[in-house]
A and B are shown apart, each in its own frame.
Chain A
Amino acid sequence: MGGLQVLEELYADEGFHVLGFYSNDFGKQGGTDEQIAEVTEKYHVTYPQFAIEPVSGDDLRPVFSWLLSHDNPGPKTGDVGPSWNFGKWLVSRKGDLVAAFDTRSYPGVDPNEQSFKESPIVQAIEAELAK
Chain B
Amino acid sequence: MSKLYELQDRRVFPPHETVSMSDYEGQVLLVYNAAAR
Q: Which residues of A contact B (CB under 8 A)?
A: 4, 7, 11, 14-27, 29-33, 35-37, 39-40, 48-53, 55, 61-64, 66-67, 82, 85-96, 121, 125, 128-129
Contact = CB atoms under 8 A, between A and B. Distances in A.
14 contacts: A16-B27, A19-B24, A21-B32, A22-B12, A31-B35, A33-B12, A35-B36, A49-B11, A51-B12, A61-B9, A86-B33, A92-B28, A93-B26, A95-B5
A15 B7 CA distance: 20
Contacts of B16: 51
A78 to B, nearest CB: 15
A56 B15 CA distance: 23
A37 B14 CA distance: 11
A93 B24 CA distance: 9
Given A85-B33, A89-B30, A49 B13 contact: yes
A92 to B, nearest CB: 6
Given A32-B37, A95-B1, A125 B12 contact: no
Nearest to B29: A91
Nearest to B16: A51
Contacts of B15: 33
B37 A91 contact: no
Task: Pick the 4 closest A-B CB pairs, nearest first.
Answer: A95-B2, A31-B36, A31-B37, A35-B37
A15 B36 contact: no
A82 B30 contact: no
